[in-house]
Structure 1
Amino acid sequence: MSIYNNAPIKPAKFSWSRNQNIEDLKVSDWVQPVWETEANKNTDWDVVLIGAPLSRSSISVSGASEFPDYFRRSWDKFSTYNIDEDLDLRALSIADLGDVMMHYTEILQSHRNIHDVMTEVCRRFPTSFPITIGGDHSITAQTVKGMKAAFPDKTIGILQFDTHLDLRSTEEHGPTNGTPIRQLLEVGVVKGRHVHNLGLHGFFNAPSLIKAAKIYEVQYIPLGHIRKQGIRETVTASLEKLQKEVDLIYVTVDIDVLDIAYAQGVPASTPGGMRTDELFAALSEVGKCSAVKAIDFVCIDPTKDTPAMATVKTTTYAVLTFLTSYLRSRKFSS
């Protein structure tokens, strides 16, 4: 695709036959594949989607590399109209840029490709909002590094929805889905006090990880505390604090933040996590924040999902919920 120069990205292996001349649009009719001739000419999209189908770097066995494809296949189950907000997403222009190319055996090469694609996307689509669809959580270290390469003078903060701190030792674990935040802290791309983790709960973070969080000054609020002060209030407070300290905010959503009852298609699913309505409320607050410049959704494994693909559909709903808030707050606010 000429629009990417030499960036390592290719058309998605699945795309819909779209009908745009109808009153009732499905998401499958709305999202435009950028590899189509007319779409290829446009660089002024409101939102761009990037698939990062990597899961070889997952600590636990994972088919998260399959999620970008399943995510796209779920689009015909959703309308662009949100009845709760009386808002139609068709007011946003959105392009599917395709999938980052992955090396069959070399994880580090796949990571470099993710980095390079994110850098190119930020440069080529400077007014567009990038949404990266993982893949396991290792991709986040590369997308954030890619943004930093595109905007070297900008200070980046991270709002992380997760059951885990993702601060495991890189010496022991390398560039896995258990170390993306640690990787960013060790090379100074992000400062620890500019990382806010919301969603930790239960028995899933060892004392050594809490120690690392305190050493790096990572800000974290366990889910029990979040529920006491309110999820919307907690998210808003974290975003407001970050806005005072950084130039742009990157949001990463590990779907394992959800309780296992709501997200069975997750390799590290746990009891005691967020309910779907809590995550949707959080993402509604995220969408309102003008300092948020990118978001990813990671660690969804369709091969472990329910027969009805409940986790896949939940994640698609989460993306659309964020975009509803993004549309209302940023495009219709004035």
Structure 2
Amino acid sequence: MANLEHLYPAGKAGFKDSEVTKFHECIKEWNGEAARGYGILGAPLSKPSISHSGAAQAPAAIRQAFTSYTTYAIESGLDLKDIAIHDFGDVAMHVTDLALSHDRIEETFYEVYKRNPDMLPIILGGDHSISCPSIKAFAKAKGSVGVIQFDAHHDLRNLEDGGPSNGTPFRGLLESGAIKGEHLVQIGIRSFSNSDEYRQYGKEKGVTIYTMKDVRERKITDILQESIAALKDKVDCLYISVDMDVMDQAFAPGCPAIGPGGMDSATLLEGIRYLGAQPIVKGMDIVEIDPTIDFRNMTSRVAAHVVMNYIAGKEE
């Protein structure tokens, strides 16, 4: 009989270095039992986007990007190869009913959080509309929530002109009472990407706004330290929402709303690692990547590094 030792299941026959652990090897499919450590949940929804977007494909692209990187962080000497990461899969979206899709995200995530209270969720979107139901579920499960939002845009658009969209998640959260304005910090807001009306709305609600000018002139860790100091005595936990269009288009060509003058990847990753190290930070999402317009998966690869740096911050 012919030797079949070199025949592997489809997609499993790549090069394997016996002395290297790739990050995706740490991720195990959730088995239904109470999970500790970290949990990945996908929210593949992009139909509410006000611009063309294939962000529904991003959860799969980010998962694929994990296969390109190892578990070893040489700068700190940390190896993540023994951490527990559970992949809970993706929420199935309705084909035409966007409100129902948002309801499914909220209901599913809440049930996951309730069954796994010691798990730290990492949400892979999807467009930014998914953050509204995601944070609603998080608040119901965890108590009062503060949010640190990395974004070029306020995402405080009114709900009358187009209903819930990727431009309205934080308007929806504020108007529903899921979070308070004083518990929302926005970092990286850019010129020529917003209107003064929405800046004024945010200020009236008590939202703290750091523009890209602030990011350029100050250390990102100083801004985050200041933000956490302002929030930590007001809320039970913090949630990070990373809209990848906070980055300059040179670093994130796969965002639907690219633009110049944004954050570089080193600054974002430094900030995420710092936030990961804060015990009060209990969850995060990453949104607004369209793999169909990306270049060499650059944006999904940065998102993978966001996840790895967040976990490294927690584990250091």
Task: Please give the TM-score of this superposition, normalised by the length of structure 2.
Answer: 0.93
2:86 is equivalent to residue 95 of structure 1 = yes
Distance 2:25 2:248 in 1: 32
Question: Which residue of structure 1 aligns with residue 23 of structure 2?
Answer: 27
CA contact (8 A) 2:252 2:298 kept: yes
- Map 1:244-283; keep pairs closer than 5 Å: 244-283=233-272
2:142 aligned with 1:142:
no
Aligned to 1:310: 298
Counterpart amino acid of 2:291?
Answer: P
Q: Which has the higher helix share?
A: 1
* Distance across 1 between alignment mates of 2:298 and 2:25: 22
Deviation for aligned residue 1:173: 2.4
Aligned to 1:121: 112
Going from structure 1 to structure 2, the CA distance change for 1:41 and 1:20 (only over 3 Å counts) comes to: farther
Instruction: Tell me the alpha carbon deviations over residues 79-136 of structure 1, each in whole angstroms, 9 at most, x when there is no partner.
Output: 1111122111123200111001111111111101100111011111100100000000
CA contact (8 A) 1:166 1:180 kept: yes
Structure 1 residues 119 and 21, CA, compared in 2 at 3 Å: closer, same or farther? farther
Q: Following TM superposition, by how much is the alpha carbon of 1:150 offset from its aligned partner in structure 2, in angstroms?
A: 2.2
Gaps of 5+ in 2: 1-9
Q: Distance in 2 between matches of 1:191 and 1:213?
A: 11
For the 8 Å contact 1:158–1:194, the answer to whether it is kept is: yes
Cα separation, 1, equivalents of 2:84 and 2:298: 27
| Long gaps (5+) in structure 1 | 1-13, 35-39, 329-334
Partner of 1:72 in structure 2? 63
Residues 3-38 of structure 1 show CA distances to partners (whole Å, capped at 9, x for unaligned) of xxxxxxxxxxx997999995421122111112xxxx
Whether the 8 Å CA contact 2:152–2:246 is kept in 1: the answer is yes
Q: Which of the residues 162, 168, 178 maps onto 1:189?
A: 178
Which of residues 41, 58, 71 in structure 2 aligns to 1:50?
Answer: 41
Q: Quick one: distance in 1 between partners of 2:302 and 2:19?
A: 25
Picking from 50, 53, 62, the partner of 1:59 is 50
Letter of the aligned partner of 2:28 in structure 1? Answer: Q
SS at match of 2:190: coil
Percent same amino acid at aligned positions?
Answer: 36
What is the one-letter code of the residue matched to 1:216? K
CA deviation profile, 1:16-68 (whole Å, cap 9, x unmatched): 7999995421122111112xxxxx15423300000100000111110000001
Pairing of 1:158-169 with structure 2 (within 5 A): 158-169=147-158
CA contact (8 A) 2:58 2:290 kept: yes
2:159 counterpart letter in structure 1: T
How many residues are treated as equivalent by the alignment? 307
| Native 8 Å contact 1:58 1:177 kept in 2 | yes
Aligned-residue offset at 1:157: 0.8
TM-score, normalised by the number of residues in structure 1: 0.88
Amino acid at match of 1:323: I
Question: Within 2, Cα distance between the matches of 1:103 and 1:66?
Answer: 15
